[in-house]
Amino acid sequence: MKKRIPIIPYREDLIAKARWLRKNSTPGEIEIWKAIKNKKLLGYKFRRQRPIHRFIVDFYCRELRLAIEIDGRSHDYKIEYDKQRQEIIEQLGVSFLRFSESDAKHYTESVVMEIERWILEHK
């Protein structure tokens, strides 16, 4: 019997914002999504713009409890906020991988390889 993975609670009011973010993805997010959607990444299911607790992460795999963040220029001005946000989510048992918007957009294959490496080391 397969072990059930608990769902991390989230604020219901974030659903509409997550939907908006999915429709307004950055170029880097779009490239990463094309590479990991439909279980393309080692058979793991990722979701994009996923509410977790009181936040939204760019990509999330529930089975791995892995959040992936693509940090664009707006993150340059909220480094401390991002750090605190990540710490709160990590306390819920979620691991984080962060990549720059530029790397996600221009070096998608390298970013995907790094995600694969993390999965193989932690599964």
Domain ranges of the chain: 28-122
- pLDDT tens per residue, range 53-81: 999 999 999 999 999 999 987 656 678 88
- pLDDT tens per residue, range 9-56: 899 999 999 999 999 999 999 999 999 999 999 999 999 999 999 999
pTM, entire model: 0.92
CATH topology classification for 28-122: Endonuclease; Chain A (3.40.960)
Distances (CA, A) of 57 to 1, 2, 3, 66: 30, 26, 24, 10
Per-residue tokens: 37: 């959607």
- Distance from C-alpha of 72 to C-alpha of 117, rounded to nearest angstrom: 23
- Distance from C-alpha of 37 to C-alpha of 33, rounded to nearest angstrom: 6
The arithmetic mean of pLDDT across residues 89-102, rounded, is 96
Give the pLDDT band (50/70/90) at residue 7.
confident
pLDDT at 48: 97
pLDDT at 4: 76
pLDDT at 58: 97
